[in-house]
Amino acid sequence: MNFKIAVLPGDGIGPEISIQGVNVMTVVCKKFGHNVSYEYGICGADAIDKVGDPFPAETLKICKNADAVLFSAVGDPKFDNDPSAKVRPEQGLLAMRKQLGLFANIRPVQTFKCLIHHSPLKPELVEGADFICIRELTGGMYFGEKYQDNDKAYDTNLYTRPEIERILKVGFEYAMKRKKHLTVVDKANVLASSRLWRQIAQEMEPSYPEVTVDYMYVDNAAMRMILSPTFFDVMVTENTFGDILTDEGSVISGSMGLLPSASTGESTPVFEPIHGSWPQAKGLNIANPLAQILSVAMLFEYFDLKEEGKLIRKAVDCSLESNVRTPEIQVESYPKYGTKEVGEWIVDYINKQ
């Protein structure tokens, strides 16, 4: 297969982990006989500094011309600490999702046996947790009509039937590929938008008779993720709820540096780690590259190249079991590996298979 990949390193630790993702993509393509080329684009604070736009037209063009986007992170404290800033790095991420029509965010939540002790949950609760959060990505409050003055502000949580149907379809189809268990998360006891979500999900149920469907209020879902994370298989929800729940789910594994994600929809799919830009670690060679590397595994799997994805996942598992780990998850008596060294170990492992 011929791959044309848009690479968006972004801000903070983004460029460092991006290099490791590209290196893994390159070695796997070489091993399996694929051709790959890369085109780089700017985004986030880096793009604001250079051209005044967090997602410039040239970057959009690069993304649209690619088969997939390998994205890293955006964000910078100089914008976070300035409430009056009119342009922010995160606006670039929202613009990318909107302009590429990426309405479905797929976030796997899984645990690694050798890292169970790093989870904030008791081992008996978290061991075996393996579920997928599917978040609607281009509707709801993040994109609805907004207003703010000194005395009043509002964000409109608008959803239409086609927007809800298409994301629920993704949820049902993922459930069919897994354990055939779907949890629809809403707040239908309070919000009209949630009642429409629930109504449409109930209408779609008969089309997927093999899928067991639960309906759960978002506050209960947040509680169940802590008390019984193994309950879930596939969870689907709207944009704001999904943003919160997926971040909650991300820490179950013991480190935000371990989990990848995919954003898919009408145009070029985007694959990215779920962690932020961690600007305090920029240039220190301590950021965990595994989420970026696992995003490459998801990229291959998206194109139904399962063996390629499987090899990457095996390499990541072996690196963890061999204690080749960045500082935040390393065992006390073992050496702490840097971002670059972990990436190099995984590339070397793949080369030897």
CA–CA separation, 33 vs 128, rounded Å?
35
9: Cβ contacts below 8 Å, ≥ 6 apart? 15, 18, 40, 46, 72
> Which helix (DSSP H) or strand (DSSP E) does residue 271 occupy?
strand 270-273
CA–CA separation, 196 vs 151, rounded Å?
31
Q: According to DSSP H, which parts of 184-238 are helical?
A: 192-204, 218-227
Which of 3.40.50.970, 3.30.413.10, 3.40.47.10, 3.40.718.10 is the CATH number of 105-260? Answer: 3.40.718.10
Q: What CATH code would you report for 1-103+265-353?
A: 3.40.718.10
pLDDT attached to residue 257 = 81
Which of the 8 DSSP states describes residue 336?
P
Residue with tokens 């149907």: 165
pLDDT attached to residue 83 = 67
Catalytic residue IDs: 142, 187, 219, 243, 247
pLDDT attached to residue 322 = 94
Q: According to DSSP H, which parts of the chain are helical?
A: 14-32, 44-51, 57-64, 77-80, 89-99, 123-126, 161-177, 192-204, 218-227, 239-250, 290-302, 306-321, 339-352
Residue with tokens 């009056």: 84
Q: Kindly write down the DSSP assignment for every residue of 147-184, as one continuous string.
A: EE-SS-EEE-----HHHHHHHHHHHHHHHHHTTSEEEE
The pLDDT tens digits along the chain (353 residues) read 899 999 999 999 999 999 999 999 999 999 999 999 999 999 999 999 999 999 999 999 999 999 999 999 999 988 877 666 778 888 998 899 989 999 999 999 988 888 888 888 998 999 999 999 999 999 999 889 999 999 999 999 999 999 999 999 999 999 999 999 999 999 999 999 999 999 999 999 999 999 999 999 999 999 999 999 999 999 999 999 999 998 888 888 877 788 899 999 999 999 999 888 999 999 999 999 999 999 999 999 999 999 999 999 999 999 999 999 999 888 888 888 999 999 999 999 999 99
Residues of the chain with CATH 3.40.718.10: 1-103+265-353, 105-260
Q: Among 3, 5, 4, which residue's Cα sits nearest to residue 32?
A: 3
